[in-house]
Chains A and B, each alone.
Chain A
Amino acid sequence: MRNTFANTFFEAGQQDPRLCVVVADISPAGAMDKFRQTFPARFINTGVAEQVMIGMCAGMALRGLKPFAYTIATFTLFRPYEFVRDDLCYQNLPVTIVGIGGGVTYSTLGGTHHAQEDVAIASAIPNMAVIAPCDPAETRLATLWCTQQERGPVYLRLGKAGEPDLTGAAIDAFEFGKIRYLQRGRDVCIMGYGPILKLGKDLATRFEAQGRSVSLISVHTVKPLDVEGIAAALKAHRQVVVLEEMAPHGGLATRVKEIAWDTRASCRLDTFALQDAFIHNYGSHGDLQAAHGLDLKTVAAQCGV
């Protein structure tokens, strides 16, 4: 995902001289280094200084540039939070904040590097849009959208590396603010955002082995949420499952429950998120997810499949 973002951004940057990237001492992965070499004036490293990373992005946007702030997810949002809120969101500037390693991606680095509650916090700020693509191909489409948009601030939540393809056979095209059916079925609907959708795909296979027809949805735009699309999905399926690698409050799971209440949905609804806990485990990304209960065995058992 990280490399796809960098490649796509480099490609877009060749077309649009307003595109700049402001990083806070993160090593330039993939084509980001090529961008830095090719457009040195449009690559800024503020060092270990995230407040000025965001503040400068605001000033650059106020003067007509299109800056992307780029670093590890925790440091894009938590450290400079009030700058994101006041400088970018209050002034409603088209700046994209790229958070690398959403959720517990940095599984060996400990809780200081886990962006567990990032989507809830970003979503709570007026004017902010939140996009979390599920695989490299969707990352490309989301990145291109971010490079072209003028509507306001965006939090683009990415994974890191090695995410499998999930959207190669998608039914729907990527459209900002709309849910995206990757496959369409009649009985069960599994939805989520970001790389955790791989777990959704595996869960779908379990259901299908039992003869159930399954829809799989990428809710890549978490805010503004496609309320109508989700209401329709709740209505069209007997069982709906929401997967999210984020805190259990203020994310997709709770939003879907709100929509279910508002629309008097009658389907079975199971939601899975990270625990409301700092878990002091180290290991692979999958190990950390499992420690939070986001593994196929646990999720499938609770879904009765």
Chain B
Amino acid sequence: MTSNEATFGFDAARARQRCLRYRRRILDISQQVTALHVAPAFSCLEMVDVVYHALLRRDPASAAPVFRDSFVMSKGHGCLSQYVILEDIGILMRDDLAAYCTPGGRLGAHPDYGVPGIEASTGSLGHGMGICAGMAYAEKVKQTDRVVHVILSDGEMQEGSTWESMMMAANLGLGNLVALLDLNDFQGLGRTSETHPSFYPILDKARAFGWEAAEVNGHDAGAVLRAITSRSGGKPFFLVGRTVKGKGVSYMENVPIWHYRSPSKEEYQKALAELAEVAA
């Protein structure tokens, strides 16, 4: 454990156990309804785990789990990773997840502002960076020390609005803005590296836009945390997390159909076995 991890009370081994449990929980939900995005949630899960379990500081004035810092899931289709963590830390209830995507429930396949723990409505890609730049700027105007975190998909880095917002965040010197890119290399029509090769290298582009940037294995929670906590500050920080779409379940990894497909009963059991086996 590094000093940063010690400071944050973050134990990478425990994070691995948690993420296995979260993956199993997401698979449970996949047996209730078919309207969900399993693989995109699996690719960003470790980064979301780090945000909630290490980066977001609790409001000391509140007994309930209320955070002083902010988090927006700009890749709204990855929100199951957020829902299961919000359930685990007591912000969403078990009943909320039981009613996921059903009449009378309040959780949809994209996060909605107004639901406990959801700080902005997303789903249409390319919106989160601008909203978070505004949030981070507001914290500066109010002279707080609050930090805003945003998770982006690699696909939404193709939206011009994301780059408009990155340019502004750097212009405004938003050192309190941390972006985590879920670089899983997949989008609708195939591998991003094959369909849009000029999209790379991303790290250089972020730096050229005035951001401090680093790249790590996005499934290595300790590395994610170390990279973010050792940033120098003064500039917005961009973390490229190399990830695997569908991470953790062999037959889902890098197979595009699992962007939106729910596993059958047999596939579900097989996935659980894989996730439990690693746990043991």
A residues whose Cβ falls under 8 Å from a Cβ of B: 20, 41-42, 44, 46-47, 49, 51-52, 54-65, 67, 82-83, 86-87, 90-91
What residues of chain A lie closer than 8 Å to B120, measured between beta carbons?
Answer: 58-59, 62, 87, 91
A62 touching B135 by the CB < 8 A rule? yes
Whether B233 is near chain A, meaning CB under 8 Å from some CB there, is no
Whether B164 is near chain A, meaning CB under 8 Å from some CB there, is yes
Give 23 pairs: A residue, B residue, CB < 8 Å, sorted on A.
A49-B168, A51-B126, A52-B164, A55-B165, A56-B165, A59-B130, A59-B133, A59-B134, A59-B137, A60-B134, A61-B134, A62-B113, A62-B119, A62-B120, A63-B134, A63-B138, A63-B142, A64-B142, A65-B138, A67-B134, A82-B124, A87-B127, A91-B113
What residues of chain B lie closer than 8 Å to A41, measured between beta carbons?
Answer: 140-141
Which of A49, A52, A57 counts the most B-chain CB atoms under 10 A from its CB?
A: A52
Q: How many angstroms from the CA of A224 to the CA of B124 in the assembled complex?
A: 27
Q: How many angstroms from the CA of A61 to the CA of B129 in the assembled complex?
A: 15
What residues of chain A lie closer than 8 Å to B167, measured between beta carbons?
Answer: 47, 49, 52
What residues of chain A lie closer than 8 Å to B140, measured between beta carbons?
Answer: 41
Q: How many angstroms from the CA of A86 to the CA of B132 in the assembled complex?
A: 14
Whether B192 is near chain A, meaning CB under 8 Å from some CB there, is no
What residues of chain A lie closer than 8 Å to B160, measured between beta carbons?
Answer: 51
Q: How many angstroms from the CA of A56 to the CA of B134 in the assembled complex?
A: 4
- Residue among A54, A61, A65, A82 making CB contact with B141, cutoff 8 Å: A65
Whether B66 is near chain A, meaning CB under 8 Å from some CB there, is no
A165–chain B nearest beta-carbon distance, Å: 37
B121 touching A90 by the CB < 8 A rule? yes
With both beta carbons as reference points, the residue of chain A lying nearest to B113 in the complex is identified as A91
What residues of chain A lie closer than 8 Å to B135, measured between beta carbons?
Answer: 59-60, 62-63
What residues of chain B lie closer than 8 Å to A52, measured between beta carbons?
Answer: 130, 133, 161, 164-165, 167-168
B156–chain A nearest beta-carbon distance, Å: 13
Q: How many angstroms from the CA of A56 to the CA of B164 in the assembled complex?
A: 11
With both beta carbons as reference points, the residue of chain B lying nearest to A67 in the complex is identified as B134
Whether B139 is near chain A, meaning CB under 8 Å from some CB there, is yes
Q: How many angstroms from the CA of A86 to the CA of B111 in the assembled complex?
A: 12
The residues in B between 146 and 174 inclusive whose CB is less than 8 angstroms from any CB of A are 148, 160-161, 164-165, 167-168, 172
Which of B124, B133, B136, B168 counts the most A-chain CB atoms under 10 A from its CB?
A: B168
Q: How many angstroms from the CA of A243 to the CA of B140 in the assembled complex?
A: 46
Q: How many angstroms from the CA of A192 to the CA of B112 in the assembled complex?
A: 38
What residues of chain B lie closer than 8 Å to A51, measured between beta carbons?
Answer: 126, 130, 160-161, 164-165
B137 touching A56 by the CB < 8 A rule? yes
- Residue among B119, B126, B168 making CB contact with A46, cutoff 8 Å: B168
Beyond A49-B167, A63-B139, 19 additional pairs, beta carbon < 8 A: A20-B141, A42-B141, A47-B167, A51-B130, A52-B130, A52-B165, A55-B134, A55-B165, A56-B137, A59-B132, A59-B137, A59-B138, A60-B135, A62-B113, A63-B134, A65-B138, A83-B127, A86-B124, A90-B113
What 1/0 flags go to B103-134 for Cβ under 8 Å of A? 00000000001000001110110110111111
Q: How many angstroms from the CA of A58 to the CA of B164 in the assembled complex?
A: 15
With both beta carbons as reference points, the residue of chain B lying nearest to A82 in the complex is identified as B124
Q: Size of chain B's interface in residues, with CB distance under 8 A?
A: 31
What residues of chain A lie closer than 8 Å to B123, measured between beta carbons?
Answer: 86
What residues of chain A lie closer than 8 Å to B126, measured between beta carbons?
Answer: 51
- Residue among B119, B121, B142, B172 making CB contact with A44, cutoff 8 Å: B172
What residues of chain A lie closer than 8 Å to B137, measured between beta carbons?
Answer: 44, 56, 59-60
B66–chain A nearest beta-carbon distance, Å: 15
A46 touching B127 by the CB < 8 A rule? no
Q: How many angstroms from the CA of A67 to the CA of B133 in the assembled complex?
A: 14
Q: How many angstroms from the CA of A196 to the CA of B56 in the assembled complex?
A: 53
A47–chain B nearest beta-carbon distance, Å: 8
Which of A56, A57, A83, A90 counts the most B-chain CB atoms under 10 A from its CB?
A: A56
A38–chain B nearest beta-carbon distance, Å: 14
Which of A20, A49, A90 counts the most B-chain CB atoms under 10 A from its CB?
A: A49
B131 touching A55 by the CB < 8 A rule? yes
Q: How many angstroms from the CA of A46 to the CA of B165 in the assembled complex?
A: 9
What residues of chain A lie closer than 8 Å to B133, measured between beta carbons?
Answer: 52, 55-56, 59
Q: How many angstroms from the CA of A175 to the CA of B132 in the assembled complex?
A: 35
Q: How many angstroms from the CA of A31 to the CA of B120 in the assembled complex?
A: 33
Q: How many angstroms from the CA of A32 to the CA of B100 in the assembled complex?
A: 48
Q: How many angstroms from the CA of A62 to the CA of B127 in the assembled complex?
A: 14
Q: How many angstroms from the CA of A160 to the CA of B135 in the assembled complex?
A: 31
3 tightest A-B CB contacts, nearest first:
A55-B130, A59-B134, A63-B138
B128–chain A nearest beta-carbon distance, Å: 9
With both beta carbons as reference points, the residue of chain A lying nearest to B129 in the complex is identified as A55
Q: In the complex where A49-B164, A51-B164 touch, is A59 in contact with B142 (Cβ < 8 A)?
A: no
What residues of chain A lie closer than 8 Å to B119, measured between beta carbons?
Answer: 62
A55 touching B161 by the CB < 8 A rule? yes
Q: How many angstroms from the CA of A47 to the CA of B167 in the assembled complex?
A: 10
Q: How many angstroms from the CA of A67 to the CA of B174 in the assembled complex?
A: 18
B121 touching A86 by the CB < 8 A rule? yes
- Residue among A58, A59, A65, A86 making CB contact with B136, cutoff 8 Å: A59
What residues of chain A lie closer than 8 Å to B139, measured between beta carbons?
Answer: 63
B127 touching A86 by the CB < 8 A rule? yes
Q: How many angstroms from the CA of A91 to the CA of B76 in the assembled complex?
A: 15
- Residue among A20, A49, A58, A82 making CB contact with B131, cutoff 8 Å: A58
Q: How many angstroms from the CA of A64 to the CA of B135 in the assembled complex?
A: 9
